[in-house]
Amino acid sequence: MNRLDFHGRHAVITGGATGLGYAIAERLLASGGDVTLWDRDLAAAEAAARKLGDNAVAVEVDVSDPAAVAQAVQTTLQRRGAATTVDALVNCAGITGPNTKLADYPVDAWRQVMDVNVNGVFYCCREWTPHLATRPWARIVNIASVAGKEGNPNASAYSASKAAVIALTKSLGKELATGPVRVNCVTPAAVKTAIFDQMTPEHIAFMLSKIPMGRFGTPDEIAAMVAWLCTEDCAFTTGAVFDLSGGRATY
Catalytic residues: 158
Tell me how far the alpha carbon of residue 156 is from its chain's centroid: 20
| SS3 at position 13 | strand
* H or E element at residue 141: strand 138-143
Number of other CB atoms surrounding residue 209 within 10 Å: 9
CA distances from 13 to 90, 103, 206, 211, 246 (A): 5, 35, 29, 27, 24
Query: Could you tell me which residues come within 8 angstroms of residue 103 by beta carbon, excluding any fewer than 6 positions away?
Result: none
The answer to whether 91 and 143 are in contact (CB under 8 A) is yes
**How far is Cα 110 from Cα 123, in angstroms, rounded to an integer?**
18
Alpha-carbon gap, residue 198 to 81, rounded angstroms: 38
Q: HSE (CB half, 13 Å, CA atoms) of 204?
A: 14
CA angle 231, 177, 189 (to 5 degrees): 55
Q: What's the distance, CA 203 to chain centroid?
A: 22
Count of all residues that appear for the chain in the document: 251
